Amino acid sequence: MYFVDIVETEGLGNRGYLAGGARTAVVVDPPRDIDRVVAMAARRGVRIARVVETHVHNDYVSGGPELARITGARHGVPADAPATFPHTPVHDGDTLPVDEGLALRVVATPGHTPHHVAYVLTEDGREAAAFTGGSLLIGSVGRPDLVEPRLTEELARAQHASARRLARELGDEVPVMPTHGFGSFCSSSPQTERDSTTIGAERESNDVLRKDVDAFVAGLLAGLDDIPAYYTHIGPLNARGPAPVDLSPAAAADAGEIARRLAAGEWVVDLRSRTAFSAGHVAGSYNFEADGQLATYLAWLIPWGKPVTLLAESPEQLAGAQRELARVGIDRPAAAATGDPRSWAGDGERLRSFERNTFAGLAETRGSGAGSTGGAGGEADVVVLDVRRDAERADGYVEGSAHIPIHELHGRIGEVPPGRVWVHCASGMRAAIAASMLDAAGREVVAVDDAFDAAGKAGLRVVRPEAE
């Protein structure tokens, strides 16, 4: 009897898989922190005999080369992939034995990348599961614009053909097990509410299987969102073969060390909750919550290769953040500290703080004519800054608000109009990051810790471009 275990990486919206039988197993698209996979195999009592990749990933660092090295497993990579590390090329139609009666059938599924493949797990010849990587996702497909802009439409058309091939060759009952699509920016559209799916369910609901190629491609290309900046670096890193992950503790930083790093222009990142950070933090530090999408947004915003110092409430929070950042190529913090922000600031140094509020508070402030100092200054002193992505703003925005997407803010802070800045996103997490950046730049700031849906209910006029 076969098994399939999910290797979940929630912060990045990805899944790998451990699948096998009584004695041996295969790992599909392993994360960089392979100790999780090794532990899963140990609990199952199986030997990892194969490691396979559906494609060279752009959004996370693969653990494939290191997992294959330490287990002695054969490392299968699509034959046309630009991989320069030792591996076994796999081709369309290949059959890869896994355990007695278990095998993987390789199916070429270009689209997300030109070299993409899927793997169909079979038990005694019967199709048991399809590991679809970035081809067929839950209610969507992988985006085709991560390789080369000039290939985007060609790959979108290939994506349509690949999904159709999977639907044509597999039965409706076959589970679809994608790598991307659980919040990953590798998905071409937002995550659905479903957590699992089958070929039959996708046939009923997925546009790639319901629309003709021209209609599908037009809709797909129109809906593509921003690409995280760090994707540019992860693809080549995976093609070369990443170094083994190093999760040993970073060097401890005292208040003097933190001050020196800030003075040198390095990034000091406070991992505490946005509530704790706004109440008191080291001047110049940035707030990326450990419980948010830490890896995605820190890797997206920080200049690639810039040293980062992490400040955490506890050793456990610090270790978790270090693990998460290693998955996106931020290998080791330059330094780290845990404990209380008063100890990070040093003797005689005052902690900074700023206000948190809601859209109702913003509406009240606008209505009262309160200025940046709380007196009668008029609405001109209240700056509303929207840090959502372009695609989000296109669905509606607060009238009169300025707009700088969060991933552009660090380089465009000088463009923020003068006044007290009320910064918002869709839920509060990105607003907290933006507020910390504005605060570090010396701006008076209010973090709107609220869902954007509350803006209209609070009495603020929300402009809907599509209705104009």
Both 372 and 320 in one domain: the answer is no
Both 91 and 224 in one domain: the answer is yes
State the pLDDT at residue 369.
Answer: 56
Cα→Cα distances 133→55, 180, 328, 335, 376, Å: 8, 6, 18, 35, 57
Cα→Cα distances 328→55, 244, 247, 289, 344, Å: 16, 13, 13, 16, 27
Domain boundary among 345, 380, 405: 345
Domain boundary among 240, 272, 287: 240
- Which of left, alpha, beta for 459 (phi over 0: left; psi -120 to 50: alpha)? left
**Token code pair at residue 326:** 């290693």
**Token code pair at residue 126:** 């019967």
State the pLDDT at residue 235.
Answer: 96
Residues 402/386, Cβ–Cβ less than 8 Å? yes
Both 29 and 168 in one domain: the answer is yes
- Within a domain: 245: no
- Within a domain: 247: no
State the pLDDT at residue 212.
Answer: 97
- Within a domain: 249: no
CA gap 59, 354 in Å, rounded:
33
State the pLDDT at residue 191.
Answer: 63
**Where are the alpha helices (H) located in 349-458, listed in sequence order?**
359-368, 390-393, 406-412, 429-440, 454-457
Both 337 and 403 in one domain: the answer is no
Both 215 and 69 in one domain: the answer is yes
State the pLDDT at residue 465.
Answer: 85
Both 333 and 359 in one domain: the answer is no
**Nearest-CA neighbor of 121 among 100, 106, 141?**
106
Domain boundary among 345, 370, 397: 345
Query: What three-state secondary structure class fits 4?
Result: strand
Question: What CATH number is associated with residue 107?
Answer: 3.60.15.10
**Nearest-CA neighbor of 445 among 456, 459, 433?**
433
- Within a domain: 248: no
Mean pLDDT by 10 residues, the chain (468 residues): 95 95 98 97 98 97 98 98 97 98 98 98 97 96 94 98 98 97 83 85 96 97 94 97 94 96 97 98 98 94 96 97 97 96 90 98 82 40 96 96 98 96 98 98 98 97 81
- Within a domain: 350: no
Q: How many structural domains is the chain composed of?
A: 3
- Tell me, what DSSP letter sits at residue 282? -
pLDDT in tens, 297-352: 999 999 999 999 999 999 999 999 999 999 999 999 999 999 999 999 988 789 99
- Within a domain: 460: yes
Domain limits for position 341? 255-345
Both 148 and 182 in one domain: the answer is yes
- Within a domain: 53: yes
Both 334 and 384 in one domain: the answer is no
Give pTM, 2 decimals. 0.92
Question: What CATH number is associated with residue 276?
Answer: 3.40.250.10
Both 277 and 391 in one domain: the answer is no
CA gap 381, 368 in Å, rounded:
12
- Within a domain: 263: yes
State the pLDDT at residue 192.
Answer: 66
Both 307 and 443 in one domain: the answer is no
Both 208 and 115 in one domain: the answer is yes
CA gap 190, 181 in Å, rounded:
8
Q: What is the DSSP string of 52-103?
A: E-SS--SSS-B-HHHHHHHHT-EEEEETTS---SS-EEE-TT-EEEEETTEE
CA gap 136, 117 in Å, rounded:
11
State the pLDDT at residue 190.
Answer: 72
Both 204 and 135 in one domain: the answer is yes
